[in-house]
């Protein structure tokens, strides 16, 4: 499946510091080694409600990672999936009286457009779950050979405790796992399972639902194995790890990332990722922003109302990626005023020295993606007087590292 058109990345000074980032599994900051090539897998959308600000904040977080690695001079193998067959998609299509494939295609197209307008660097590999069904079937067969697959009626399940490290990504006690599992697509109460947390791998055909042929009979894949199979399809396995970063929103820590990491471990014998990185959720008017609450703010609707994509990007980058916060309705207005002030400053014949500011932007991003501190430093620079600054280099650095284009 095609992603979205490439986004120009300017020539900028080389980043020399390694990226340090908070890993959920380590519950601490992790410094990734300096390498010539990095690999990252970020879970994509389920295409029935795209692209809300929670989506945008997540993909901007990993766009900063992508951009910093590019600034280091490294190649980046960035893999992203689309969960283009899943219960929520089918439920929304049924609710709205539309074909699930048409709904998925329309939302994927909208997501691509939003990512391009927000200047997110596209992934190297962009794969839908439907296209990956042969790979999922192969992965289930390989898991079966490890003794970790069993049947409940005609469905296939993954025995999570066959991975001795299960639970070491989320660090949740079992009672919390069970509660979250039930809330996020799991079926802990299903009769016939060996353990309530065991995860569905293959759902046998149900009347009125789409299905694909396989050696297990007609059906469709479970959620977690899709990402495991797609990641392994495109990743280049390293000695100890499959990839450098597995990423997504905080709501994916459990069960999704925990489950897929365990499946990858049994499939390869390797730890899935050096770091498991999660972007915080966004709220609105004192409540979590979510599909179920109906309080989503959509990127496309903001742009249709006249908000600049760069104002959306700037506003989201002003918040620490790993801290939950409430979106304020005037945030894009504030962001636009700050961008306008920066553009006006850059049009002056003389601007303050930029060397320290540029160095600070690099340092902030290397230190756990502190884009909020980088933007604060830019705003402080705008408020100062002086001369001797390099306007073009500063403009290029803001473009390259933060993804913000400024007027010439």
- Residue pLDDT tens, the chain, 408 long: 899 999 999 999 999 999 999 999 999 999 999 999 999 999 999 999 888 999 999 999 999 999 999 999 999 999 999 999 999 999 999 999 999 999 999 999 999 999 999 999 999 999 999 999 999 999 999 999 999 999 999 999 999 999 999 999 999 999 999 999 999 999 999 999 999 999 999 999 999 999 999 999 999 999 999 999 999 999 999 889 999 999 999 999 999 999 999 999 999 999 999 999 999 999 887 777 766 667 889 999 999 999 999 999 999 999 999 999 899 989 999 999 999 999 999 999 899 999 999 999 999 999 999 999 999 999 999 999 999 999 999 999 999 999 999 987
Per the CB < 8 A criterion, the answer to whether 362 and 17 are in contact is yes
- Cβ atoms < 10 Å from Cβ of 102: 10
**In 12-99, where does DSSP find H-type helix?**
53-71, 87-96
3-class secondary structure, 127: strand
Q: Which helix (H) or strand (E) holds 343?
A: helix 331-346
- Alpha carbons 405 and 255: distance in angstroms, whole number: 37
Q: Which residues contact 205 (CB under 8 A, 6 or more apart)?
A: 211, 217, 218, 219, 220
3-class secondary structure, 17: coil
pTM above 0.95, yes or no: yes
Q: What pLDDT, on the 0 to 100 scale, is given for residue 31?
A: 98
Q: What pLDDT, on the 0 to 100 scale, is given for residue 50?
A: 81
Q: Please measure the distance between the N-terminal and C-terminal CA atoms of the chain and give it in whole angstroms.
A: 35
Q: What pLDDT, on the 0 to 100 scale, is given for residue 291?
A: 65
Q: State the residue for tokens 């803001």.
A: 398
- Alpha carbons 288 and 291: distance in angstroms, whole number: 10
Q: Which helix (H) or strand (E) holds 30?
A: strand 28-31
Q: What pLDDT, on the 0 to 100 scale, is given for residue 292?
A: 65
Q: Is 330 exposed, middle or buried (0-12, 13-18, 19+ CB in 10 A)?
A: exposed
Per the CB < 8 A criterion, the answer to whether 135 and 125 are in contact is no
Q: State the residue for tokens 């509660």.
A: 179
Radius of gyration of the chain (CA): 22
**Domains of the chain, start order:** 20-279 (3.40.50.620), 284-402 (1.20.120.640)
Q: What pLDDT, on the 0 to 100 scale, is given for residue 295?
A: 81
- Alpha carbons 404 and 382: distance in angstroms, whole number: 16
Give the residue from 26, 25, 57 showing the smallest Cα distance to 322: 57
- Alpha carbons 342 and 383: distance in angstroms, whole number: 9
Per the CB < 8 A criterion, the answer to whether 112 and 73 are in contact is no
């Amino acid at each position: 499946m095609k992603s979205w058109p490439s986004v120009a990345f300017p020539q900028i000074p080389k980043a020399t510091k390694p990226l340090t980032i908070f890993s959920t599994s380590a519950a601490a900051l992790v410094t990734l080694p300096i390498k010539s090539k990095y690999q990252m897998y970020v879970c994509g959308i389920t295409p029935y409600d795209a692209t809300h600000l929670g989506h945008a904040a997540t993909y901007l977080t990993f766009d900063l990672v992508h951009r910093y690695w590019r600034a280091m001079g490294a190649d980046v193998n960035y893999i992203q999936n689309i969960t283009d067959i899943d219960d929520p998609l089918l439920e929304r299509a049924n609710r709205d009286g539309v074909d699930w494939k048409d709904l998925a295609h329309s939302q994927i197209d909208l997501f691509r457009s939003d990512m391009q307008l927000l200047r997110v660097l596209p992934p190297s590999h962009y794969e839908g779950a439907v296209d990956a069904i042969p790979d999922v079937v192969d992965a289930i067969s390989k898991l079966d050979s490890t003794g970790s697959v069993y049947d409940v009626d005609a469905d296939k399940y993954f025995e999570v405790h066959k991975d001795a490290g299960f639970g070491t990504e989320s660090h949740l006690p079992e009672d919390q796992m069970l509660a979250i599992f039930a809330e996020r697509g799991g079926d802990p109460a299903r009769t016939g399972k060996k353990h309530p947390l065991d995860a569905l791998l293959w759902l046998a055909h149900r009347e009125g639902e789409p299905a694909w042929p396989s050696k297990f009979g007609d059906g469709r894949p479970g959620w977690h194995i899709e990402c495991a199979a797609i990641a392994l399809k495109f990743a280049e396995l390293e000695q100890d790890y499959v990839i450098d970063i597995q990423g997504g929103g905080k709501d994916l820590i459990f069960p999704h990332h925990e489950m897929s990491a365990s499946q990858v471990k049994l499939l390869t014998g390797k730890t899935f990722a050096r770091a498991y990185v999660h972007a915080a959720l966004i709220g609105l008017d004192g409540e979590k922003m979510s599909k179920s609450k109906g309080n989503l703010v959509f990127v496309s609707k903001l742009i249709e109302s006249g908000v600049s994509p760069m104002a959306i990007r700037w506003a989201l980058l002003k918040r620490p990626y790993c801290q939950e916060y409430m979106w304020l309705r005037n945030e894009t207005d504030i962001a636009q005023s700050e961008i306008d002030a920066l553009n006006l400053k850059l049009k002056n014949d003389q601007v303050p020295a930029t060397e320290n500011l540029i160095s600070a932007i690099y340092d902030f991003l290397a230190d756990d993606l502190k884009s909020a501190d980088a933007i604060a430093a830019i705003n402080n620079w705008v408020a100062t007087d002086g001369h001797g600054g390099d306007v073009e280099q500063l403009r290029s650095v803001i473009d390259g590292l933060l993804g913000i284009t400024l007027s010439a």
